[in-house]
Structure 1
Amino acid sequence: MKLNLSFFFFLFLGIFSAAAQTVENPPPNFIRTVIFTGSNEYSGVPVIKLGEPLLLTFDDLVGDEANYYYTIEHFNYDWTPSELLKNEYLEGFDNVRITNYENSFNTLQLYSHYELRIPNDNTRSLKVSGNYLIKIFNDNKELVFSRKFIVYEPLTRVQVAVRKSSEVRNIQTKHVVNFEVDSPEFIIRNPEQSTWAVILQNNNLKTAIYNIRPQYHIGTSLIYKYNDLTSFWAGNEFLSFDSKDLRAATVKIQYIDLQDLYHHYLFPDAIRAFEPYTYNPDINGKFLVRKFQALEDDIEAGYVWTHFALAAPEPFEGGEVHLYGEFNNFVLDESTKLEYNPNSGAYETARLFKQGYYDYKYVFLRKDGILDEGFISGNFVSTENDYTVLIYYLPPGGRFTRVIGMGSATSLNISN
């Protein structure tokens, strides 16, 4: 009887662990412009090499110099908590206050700007590769928000290629990512069961493809040449606006109004799904804070209400229209939802942004919860997207999954 009880206990524990995958907690409305980067200057989920630095910045619009604390947690490949103790993956300690902050200067919207750099005097380094989550708490030990990041070791060479779909019906609308993993010096044992690959499109974890096993291996190389399994809808180039000058209209900003804060009204956008593809250089959904003639963009850039309009002859049935981009970590919520205005014949909304250059697009969230990125913008194989491939490995007897390689490619170099 004891053996049976033990069996069911561990079975339950395994089922619970499999279900307990962590998710990011979005920040409240008064926390804005969360930027989490590695060596890349743009935002997005940081994918850094073991030993490289991290930078997390955010603004508190209350502006009262509140105290914030951070912790760092390590996770398995499937974002379930790993078995490692804190001192096994972290040199130094966390759960300390963020001491680097400044108040805004000469802005209509007051805010406190916070910066956290890792490594620092307290958190000296991360010891192992893998999935990580950083959590930000307030004085009451309440979770304010959290963000994921990934640390890899360059133990393998990952060669990535983007090609068109081999299916005729998808040849003009999808990108297929093929790749090879070469490890002449690092021995991968039992690769069909011990390795997993993850593919990110434009550094967005929310649309990543998981659980990709090697098709076969030749010598020291693992080969991944799937078609459907590793395919993404190509989407369309992001739209953009630039608010670096609060008082000057640009090619995208139709007119400006000053109330409690500045209001920028963008020219109405059109539905692009049924129009021919038009090349429009973008930064793949990311954003960059900047202010015209500022010495310190981080504390001198102001906040502006940006008004969006998507022209539509009638409202769409069966779902909602949302703004989409890295400006809020690709989260769809009430602040990104557009409402249809029958008087103007357009979906409309206004959202508070810090001055800068922003990419965005309109997406359709169906009632069943499925996100359709191409419903409004369309899917075109000529679209330029960035793809990142991560290779996870669980060695025999290992207690955590390592990330043993990273490779990237762009669809600008697409092949048949």
Structure 2
Amino acid sequence: MKTFITLILAFFALPLSVWSQGIIEKVPPNYIRTVIFNSGNSYSGVPVIELGSGLNLEFDDIIGDEANYYYTIEHYNYDWTPSQLVKSEYMEGFDNVRIVNYQNSYNTLQLYSHYRLNIPNEDTQRLKVSGNYMLKVFNEARELIFSRKFIIYQPLTSVAVEIKKSRDVRFIHTKQVVNFSVNSPDFIIRNPEESVRAVILQNNNLKTGIYNIKPQYNIGNELIYKYDQPTAFWAGNEFLNFDSKDLRAATVKIRSIEVKDLYHHYLFRDQIRAFEPYTYNPDINGKFVVRTMQGRDNSIEAGYVWTHFALQTTEKFNEVEVHLYGGFNNFILDDSTRLEYNPLTGTYETARLFKQGYYDYKYVLLRKDGTLDEGFFSGNFTSTENDYTVIIYYHPPGARFSRVIGVGNQNSVTISN
């Protein structure tokens, strides 16, 4: 009995960095493409929206048979463990209903059914509390097809964010440090050392977030976070991009076009940028935008294109994997993003099916131990432009769920010493 109690206490003593992964999002199958999940202003990463704001989900089923899909919404604590709330406590209305808004593609070589879900709607009328949420999509057999996380906050505090250069001279040219403060003149925060946790996201990517950040100290109603390495991110480099809005015309990035079963776009070879001087190249921080010049309705008239990538390396890297990386698939690494080495050309190559549009991407290295190295090919430069989001969670002792009481945003163009 004593051993059992010791294990239980040890479990609850785990830091949030261990807990932070919690429930994992279900990756869509290959026939589900171009998942857009946003609040109207972001096309990748986790949506972070204010309580009362709307949410939009869109996706394509390239089987195109008008299959039936259903959705549910679940509430979670800051560590992505299920909260103690029952559905009626965090939702007005109900879920577990069919997505009825869908259309078939028009004038495209690749047939698909395009689905759209807006929240709130006549069934799910309102989400009533802040916190972490998961939207799950099921098929008619009630099998989970895919899921996506989102976060709702209530602006009970103000969060001021600053981006600084690292105070550690080893990283002064390669890392960006996030400092911030939380001011709550009208909201009483009890025992902030134990009840308040902060999460920092770079470019809205939950998978590379920094978790379990406690305040260093407080001055009156203000919590201060002026860490160095604990809140430092590798700065990375600007994303590469391509634009396939015109199926039949090559652009600055597209080298050649072929028409087979579908259109095939061959991009110019990319080079390793890690050892080149930093060059500012405007990007949208990993996001994407669906658009077409061959129709008026991007949702159902944009076609699908096989896009071919090539990364010049001259040699094969052993016991590692090279992947495409970006918000086009929610920063997931899988078989569809993996590149294979071609000894005849000295390049890592792959082809992936994309809906017409503008896409950011980069090449990353996945090591054998599962470690992701985003800067291996592109480098890390302090001058890189990144978006940062700071999310403040409040879970006082005895509370039945975690609240999100503030969100702050800043871009690294404001970086200072």
Q: TM-score, normalised by structure 2?
A: 0.96
Question: C-alpha deviations, 1:63-91, integer Å up to 9, x for none?
Answer: 00000000000000000011100101111
Q: CA deviation at 1:43?
A: 2.8
How many angstroms apart in 2 are the aligned matches of 1:12 and 1:121? 45
Counterpart of 1:228 in structure 2 is 229
- Match for 1:123: what amino acid? T
Deviates most, 287-296 or 82-91: 287-296
- Match for 2:158: what amino acid? R
SS state of the match for residue 194, structure 2?
helix
- The runs of at least 4 consecutive aligned structure 1 residues that moved more than 3 Å come to 4-20
SS state of the match for residue 299, structure 1?
helix
Counterpart of 2:382 in structure 1 is 381
SS state of the match for residue 35, structure 2?
strand
SS state of the match for residue 135, structure 1?
strand
Question: Could you say what the CA RMSD is over the residues aligned between the two structures, in angstroms?
Answer: 1.9
For the pair 1:36 / 2:37, whether they are aligned, the reply is: yes
**Cα 1:293–1:203, aligned 2, differ >3 Å: closer, same or farther?**
same
How many angstroms apart in 2 are the aligned matches of 1:259 and 1:132? 42
For the pair 1:134 / 2:135, whether they are aligned, the reply is: yes
Question: C-alpha deviations, 1:173-221, integer Å up to 9, x for none?
Answer: 0000000000000010110110000000000000000000000000010
Paired residues for 1:44-123 under 5 Å: 44-123=45-124
1:27–1:145: 8 Å Cα contact kept in structure 2?
yes
SS state of the match for residue 229, structure 1?
helix
Counterpart of 2:198 in structure 1 is 197
How many angstroms apart in 2 are the aligned matches of 1:415 and 1:198? 21
SS state of the match for residue 327, structure 1?
helix
How many angstroms apart in 2 are the aligned matches of 1:206 and 1:69? 26
Question: C-alpha deviations, 1:304-343, integer Å up to 9, x for none?
Answer: 0000000011112331110000000000011000001011
Deviates most, 296-305 or 313-322: 313-322
Counterpart of 1:171 in structure 2 is 172
Question: C-alpha deviations, 1:126-155, integer Å up to 9, x for none?
Answer: 010000000000000000000000000000
Percent sequence identity is 70
Counterpart of 1:400 in structure 2 is 401
- Match for 1:25: what amino acid? K
Counterpart of 1:22 in structure 2 is 23
Q: CA deviation at 1:349?
A: 0.2
**Cα 1:242–1:144, aligned 2, differ >3 Å: closer, same or farther?**
same
Counterpart of 2:321 in structure 1 is 320
How many angstroms apart in 2 are the aligned matches of 1:10 and 1:170? 39
Q: CA deviation at 1:295?
A: 1.3
1:70–1:137: 8 Å Cα contact kept in structure 2?
yes
How many angstroms apart in 2 are the aligned matches of 1:78 and 1:9? 19
Aligned residues: 414
- Match for 1:189: what amino acid? R
How many angstroms apart in 2 are the aligned matches of 1:241 and 1:33? 16
**Cα 1:221–1:339, aligned 2, differ >3 Å: closer, same or farther?**
same
- The answer for unaligned runs of 5 or more in structure 2 is none
Counterpart of 1:183 in structure 2 is 184
- Match for 1:73: what amino acid? E
Q: CA deviation at 1:397?
A: 2.4
- The answer for unaligned runs of 5 or more in structure 1 is none
- Match for 2:92: what amino acid? E
- Match for 1:408: what amino acid? N
Counterpart of 2:300 in structure 1 is 299
Counterpart of 2:342 in structure 1 is 341
How many angstroms apart in 2 are the aligned matches of 1:140 and 1:251? 45
- Match for 1:88: what amino acid? E
Counterpart of 2:312 in structure 1 is 311
Counterpart of 2:242 in structure 1 is 241
Question: C-alpha deviations, 1:2-54, integer Å up to 9, x for none?
Answer: xx899689769969998792000000000000000014143321000000000
Paired residues for 1:244-283 under 5 Å: 244-283=245-284
Question: C-alpha deviations, 1:87-132, integer Å up to 9, x for none?
Answer: 0111100000000000000000000000000000000010100000
1:312–1:346: 8 Å Cα contact kept in structure 2?
yes
